[in-house]
Structure 1
Amino acid sequence: MTQQSPPAAAPASMAARIAHLADWSWPDIKKEWQRLFGGEPPIANRRFVEKRIAYRWQEIEFAKADRGLLERNQQRIDELVATGTLKRQKAGAMPIAGTELIRVYAGVEHRVRVLPDDEFEYAGKRYPSLSMIAREITGTRWSGPAFFGLRKAGGR
């Protein structure tokens, strides 16, 4: 299936945009690579090229959403280069914006996307906490971070 128009017309949701990349023709994928990276793809491995395009789209999108993210990442890179190690994340720290949390519950896969400003997207709706999403999924009170495996259930 040939992509009718370039990514500007792609779905608003990054996950949907990436999912539609599989429908693009190889010539359209090569054009997008050229637009993003300038030049031909280094190899003719479609899966490799799709992954790199998807990654680059996310870099661009989340740099707009959280300008401090690139700065924080650069600081961590500089720290790693200078010392050879990184400081551990503090316990209970939430994943960075753009992370997708996946949990299978009652035989159904549930996906939650971490948004900037400590919010979450689940089933097309925004939530202020993971616990609200866990309650939506299970119908009972849960610690959201525990439900999604970010910390042990019953622990801090």
Structure 2
Amino acid sequence: MSQITTTFQPSASLLAQLARLPEMSWAELKAEHQRLYHAEPAVKHRRFVERRIATRLQEIEYRHHDRARLERNQRRIRALVESGEIPPRARKTAPMPGTVLSREFGGEIHRVAVAQDGTVEYGGQRYNSLSAVARAITGTRWSGPAFFGLRATKESK
């Protein structure tokens, strides 16, 4: 199986900021915490503060890369405010690119890797869907998401 990477690559700036945290003085850490959280650190525990700062820096960096999720959440919030009820989410069973799914079948472990373009790789071949892979493994028609445990089967409901 070829190696699959995610589409998101952290910026050099983010990596540099994260690498610098252990070298910062306590005063610098407090100032950075103040800048990011608009408050002094609640505890005087260096590793805890470094981790909180690292988390916030990553949140800031990553939030720019999933506008669709932000828009879906904003629609759900508006619906909640307007109706008082949270609308059900459309369940997307497609796993994220880079995900490796495993399933034991016929005494063998079968691994499938999800590619960036949404196809899946199994046994050195590309398939358009998990269902196509499940059919190749079992020889019968299967729901790929159910076969790989991403969705309940009729028997398990």
Question: Greater relative contact order (Cα 8 A, min sep 6): structure 1 or 2?
Answer: 2
- Shorter-normalised TM-score: what interval? 0.3 to 0.5
Which structure would you say has the larger Rg? 2
Q: Return the TM-score normalized by structure 2.
A: 0.44
